[in-house]
Amino acid sequence: MSRFYKRERFSYRLIDTAHMYDNEAIVGQAVAESGLRREDVFITTKLCQTRAGYELAWQGIEESLARLQTDYIDLLLIHEPYDEALDMYRALTEAYRQGVIRAIGISNFNAREYLDFIGSCDVIPMVNQVE
């Protein structure tokens, strides 16, 4: 091995979960039992239709935190462009400003939906996750 080449081992620890997938609790348990420091695991989760609306979104944030057994979420997304997405996003923005969520965004918005959406946001979504 050349003295200029040092082989390093990289681990990628991003977990993508969602309320809709019904796997947040098992993800939270796995992270807690992994022995890893929380800051070494990046957790993304999403709010679905059952949490559409401002108050329901806050409820969903609290539920996700509890199921994931963490005091913060690295990235929280609105799962789809629901009619109530702006109200949901207002709750995400408040949670982001409080530090409960480190980054906020949307998921599965097409280009037109995205442009319409960001025209009404104080905080531009940090991610638009699409398949």
**What residues are labeled active site?**
21
User: What is the tally of helices (H) and strands (E) in the chain?
Assistant: 4, 5
At what angle are helices 24-33 and 54-68 packed, to 10 degrees? Answer: 40
Q: Specify burial of residue 95 (Cβ count, 10 A radius: 0-12, 13-18, 19+).
A: buried
Closest CA to 121 of 71, 78, 58, 64: 78
CA 12, CA 131: separation in Å to the nearest integer?
20
CA 82, CA 86: separation in Å to the nearest integer?
9
